[in-house]
Amino acid sequence: MDENVKAVPVPAGRWLALIVAAVILAEGIWGMLVSITRSLLVPLVARITGGDSQSALYLGKGDINIPDLFGSILQVCLAGIVFLLIKSWASSRPRAKAPRTVKIGKPVSASLSVTPQTVAAAAQATAASAVPPSQPSSQPEVRTSPHAAAPSVPPQPMAKADEPQKAKEVYYNIVGEPISPAEDE
């Protein structure tokens, strides 16, 4: 046998279900053994020995009880079905979720624009927080080097507020990576 096979861990509630299933199957098998002994084997031995009805060793007329045998076989079959159903439930794993379609709106970075005014305001805010409390200063000085030029960013056209932009649909594969619908064709 392969020794590298790892068993699936079973939770405690499912262990109890497996034990109940085993007891049901064992009860069915035990009932069938009793029925075979009482309804088939003892009458066959009585026919073979053919003893006296007045003797203490008399086993009966030797009539085989067919309905009792049929009932015990049916009982074992139903116990086996219940056992298999409970066992398959106890050894099943949770199912994986199906992939979903996620709609993504306008990216956040496109709505932010960097202008020299926002850069200067951010520099003043960081410089104000960096001033130690021992220096009394109403406004911190922001010095820029003469060689550093302000970043020139062309103004971005503003989208019309009346027309909402359509959200782009993004599809994901089974691994969770985004894919485009054109790749499948």
**Is the CB of residue 39 less than 8 Å from the CB of residue 68?**
yes
Q: Which amino acid belongs to residue 73?
A: I
Q: Which helix (H) or strand (E) holds 104?
A: strand 102-104
Question: What is the amino acid identity at position 130?
Answer: A
CA dist list (Å): 84 to 12, 34, 63, 155: 19, 23, 35, 71
Domain ranges (residues) in the chain: 12-90
- Strand-pairing partners, residue 53, are none
Q: Tell me if the pTM is above 0.85.
A: no
The string of pLDDT tens digits covering residues 146-174 is: 555 555 666 666 655 566 677 777 888 88
pLDDT tens by residue, 15-65? 888 899 999 999 999 999 999 999 999 888 888 887 777 776 677 787 888
Reported as a single tens digit per residue, the pLDDT across 97-141 is 777 777 776 555 544 566 666 666 666 666 555 555 555 555 555
